[in-house]
Amino acid sequence: MLKRQLTVLEDFTFRNWQLVSGTILLIICVLTYLAYSFDVTKRTLIRIAASDRFDDSYQVAQILADHVNAHSETIFIEVLETRGSKANSRLLLDDQVDFAFVHYDPDLVGTGYSVATMFPDVVQILTRPGVTLKSIGDLKGKRIALATNEGIESEVFDLIIQHYNLDKGTMHILETSWRGAYWTLSHGLIDVVFRVKTAANPEVIKLINTSNASFFGVDQARALNFKYPHFNLAEISVGTFRGSPPVPQSNILTVGVDRYLVAGRSVNNEVVAELTRILFEEKEFLILRSPLFGFMAMPGANTMIPVHAGAAAYFFREMPSFLQQNAELLALVITLVAISVSVIINIQNQAKRGRVNDYNRRLLAIRLKIENARDALQLTQLKEELNGFIGRVVEDAIHSRISTDGFDFFAFTWENVRTLMRDKERQFNSATLAG
């Protein structure tokens, strides 16, 4: 039955060889296409908590994700829109995300580890036309738009007014989103917008240009920097927001807060090292999409959040090891140790040779006495001396106070002396019998 089926198949193939060949070729083409189009490399999905889509961190995270997802063979990034830095910290603490853009948060110490210092944010106090601030104290009685407590703004605002001994109850606080702050200031419903964003944030520039808002800094920024180590000293240069007429009209001192990219404690070191490599080795491509990548830097010695082990492995990959750094010193130490050991061994060998030579001289002295012995009594005394002498030599050999070669040479000499002793004994015995 099977043979007949094979015969039929062979006959069909012979008569329709063009159809069969075309079908096989089509199958090969389809399989080849699937093989090249399907990514067989396993890519690790990492989730990055950014902020709302109007924030710089969201824009930077999305640019990074687009670049990584298009070029990396090992990782794939998903960017999550969140409500701000504080929300990101909680997501990281709860292991709901792998990475997060955050400002310094003491709760992250021991849980989150920095990968890079991404860019500096600065405190920006924007006032509507007709509202003039001469100092931070003038915020009393003002209507102030403040971001919700999911971001860093509320915390920074509280620290600043505490420094100036201001009571928050004397101000009219409106907690709102950036879109809400933009709308209320544009319509004159509030007096001040307090934000912590990059100096060249497009939304801030848009607000200033459309509403003719003014910029006010923090005149005691240096004092705040000493008081709160996570605050930086920042300066907004003249014309930052608009060139003509310039806004601001002069350089203004304010407070800065660094934005970090932080990895969670459960993220694999290799994944962190790969993302760090992309950030710093492909920085030139990222800068083309956003100039904020130009501020990105390796976490410094004074970074408030410890560096992740994976990031450190990348940063210090070319640093010579301890052995390489101290090769000359170690070579000198090894040489000195080798010389010292050689000297010690040589001293020990000299001592062993001296001891064996001393024993051999004593043996020769006994041999000479045996040769000159005049009677059996004197010979008996020399025999006892010889037998007691060998015990000390064996003891020295057991405790390695004489070498094996030295002991063999002594044993050979001792046997010669013993042979002489026996010959002398037979001589005296023969003489006694003859007498």
Classify residue 43 as exposed, middle or buried by CB count within 10 Å of its CB (0-12, 13-18, 19+).
middle
**pLDDT tens-digit map of 354-399:** 777 777 787 777 777 777 777 777 777 777 777 777 777 777 777 7
Give the CA angle between residues 263, 269, 275 to the nearest 5°: 65
What is the residue type of 34? L
Domain 327-434 has CATH 3.30.70: no
Is residue 261 over pLDDT 90?
A: yes
φ/ψ region of 365 (left if φ > 0, alpha if ψ in -120 to 50, else beta) reads alpha
Grouping H, G, I as helix, E, B as strand and the rest as coil, residue 264 is strand
* Alpha-carbon separation of residue 210 from 124, 203, 204, 214 (angstroms): 17, 10, 10, 11
Query: Which pLDDT does position 23 carry in this prediction?
Result: 64
pLDDT tier, 38 (very low <50, low <70, confident <90, very high otherwise):
very low
Query: Which pLDDT does position 417 carry in this prediction?
Result: 75
Count CA within 13 A, CB hemisphere, residue 47: 12
Written as six digits, the tokens of 118 are 């991404």
Grouping H, G, I as helix, E, B as strand and the rest as coil, residue 49 is strand
pLDDT tier, 172 (very low <50, low <70, confident <90, very high otherwise):
very high
pLDDT tier, 14 (very low <50, low <70, confident <90, very high otherwise):
very low
Domain 44-315 has CATH 3.40.190.10: yes
Q: Nearest to residue 146, comparing CAs of 108, 194, 198, 90?
A: 194
Average pLDDT, the chain: 81
Q: Nearest to residue 144, comparing CAs of 159, 134, 154?
A: 154
Q: What global pTM score does this model have?
A: 0.64
Specify the higher pLDDT residue, 378 or 269: 269
Query: Which pLDDT does position 333 carry in this prediction?
Result: 78
For every residue of 209-247, DSSP letters joined together read HHH--EEE--TTHHHHHHH-TT-EEEEEPTTSSEETTEE
Q: Count CB neighbours of 435 within 10 A.
A: 5
Question: How far apart (Å, rounded) are the C-alpha atoms in residues 198 and 290?
Answer: 12
Query: Which pLDDT does position 258 carry in this prediction?
Result: 92
Pair 349, 403: CB distance under 8 Å: yes
Question: How far apart (Å, rounded) are the C-alpha atoms in residues 274 and 206?
Answer: 36
Domain-wise residue ranges, the chain: 2-37, 44-315, 327-434
Is residue 9 over pLDDT 60?
A: no
**pLDDT tens-digit map of 293-349:** 999 998 876 677 888 989 888 888 765 555 555 667 767 777 777 777 676 777 777
Strands 44-49 and 75-80: parallel
Instruction: Tell me the β-bridge partners of 125.
Output: 194, 216
For residues 27-36, give the mean pLDDT. Answer: 59
Is residue 13 over pLDDT 80?
A: no
pLDDT tier, 433 (very low <50, low <70, confident <90, very high otherwise):
low
Give the CA angle between residues 234, 200, 79 to the nearest 5°: 105
